[in-house]
Amino acid sequence: MGGRTTYYTYYGKYLINQDYILLPFAEFERRREEWQSSLNDVSIFIRPNSNMKTFNARVLTYNQQLEEYCYDSIDPNTLVVIASHKHIFAEYRFIIVDRKVITGSLYRKNGEFEPSTEIDPKASDLAQEIANAEWSPSSVFVVDIAKTLDGYGLVEIGVFNCAGLYKCDRSLIVKAINKIALKEHEEYYRDI
């Protein structure tokens, strides 16, 4: 999916962290105080740009040292996303197939892992709005939506093949993926 540098371009208006800055890790280290003051926050959120999770996303307070989190082994050229810290009340995962939200699940509530079939319609509506956008990373992908003090926003998108499904309805996923696989198979062989 190309990491955040790809989908932030298309889904930027949906992000919970619209004040993000994308830069090499070495520049983050060198200019950390500047970024922290520009984000007007005592804590800062940092995560890798890559979907490969070269390190775990963290919230760092102004005085915390990066070494506390073993960041000293990160390649200085690794692109990172930094943004202001947002308090997240709930996180939802939605499965998108052929531009439709097929199913979803609450997976985190007030910071605790609590998978549930409970879905806030506003979160589902935002996931469908993202699915309807002009650009799509794939015919099947996942969308994580969070509820914050500012409302609902996109946390990230991800590859379906390595995503946790939590309490999503697996039978709906299988039916939808089977249907799109057959459709794409027919289109492929029709075009050759």
User: Which pLDDT score, from 0 to 100, does residue 117 have?
Assistant: 97
The pair phi, psi for residue 80, each rounded to 5°, is -125, 155
Q: Are 77 and 172 members of one domain?
A: no
Q: Are 49 and 125 members of one domain?
A: no
Contacts for 16 with CB less than 8 Å, ≥ 6 apart? 86, 88, 146, 148, 150, 153, 154, 155
User: Which pLDDT score, from 0 to 100, does residue 2 have?
Assistant: 60
What is the pLDDT confidence band of residue 49, given thresholds at 50, 70 and 90? confident
| Token reading at 169 | 């309805």
The pair phi, psi for residue 108, each rounded to 5°, is -145, 135
User: Which pLDDT score, from 0 to 100, does residue 32 have?
Assistant: 74
Residue 184, domain extent: 88-191
DSSP state at residue 55: S
Q: Count the domains in the chain.
A: 2
Q: Are 129 and 37 members of one domain?
A: no
pLDDT above 60 for 1: no
User: Which pLDDT score, from 0 to 100, does residue 70 have?
Assistant: 54
Calpha distance 86→53 (Å, rounded): 20
Higher pLDDT, 3 or 103: 103
| CATH number for position 80 | 3.30.1490
Look at 22-26, 71-75, 105-109, 160-164 and tell me which has the smallest mean pLDDT. Answer: 71-75
Higher pLDDT, 1 or 82: 82
- Quick check: is 7 in a domain? no
What is the pLDDT confidence band of residue 58, given thresholds at 50, 70 and 90? confident
Q: Are 70 and 140 members of one domain?
A: no
CA pseudo-torsion sign 74, 76, 82, 85: positive
User: Which pLDDT score, from 0 to 100, does residue 158 have?
Assistant: 92
pLDDT above 80 for 72: no
pLDDT above 60 for 69: no
Q: Which of 45, 60, 84 is the last residue of a domain?
A: 84
pLDDT above 60 for 132: yes
**pTM (two decimals):** 0.87
Higher pLDDT, 63 or 98: 98
No. of helices (H) and no. of strands (E), the chain: 5, 9
What is the pLDDT confidence band of residue 129, given thresholds at 50, 70 and 90? very high
- Quick check: is 2 in a domain? no
Mean pLDDT, rounded, of the chain: 88
Contacts for 87 with CB less than 8 Å, ≥ 6 apart? 148, 149
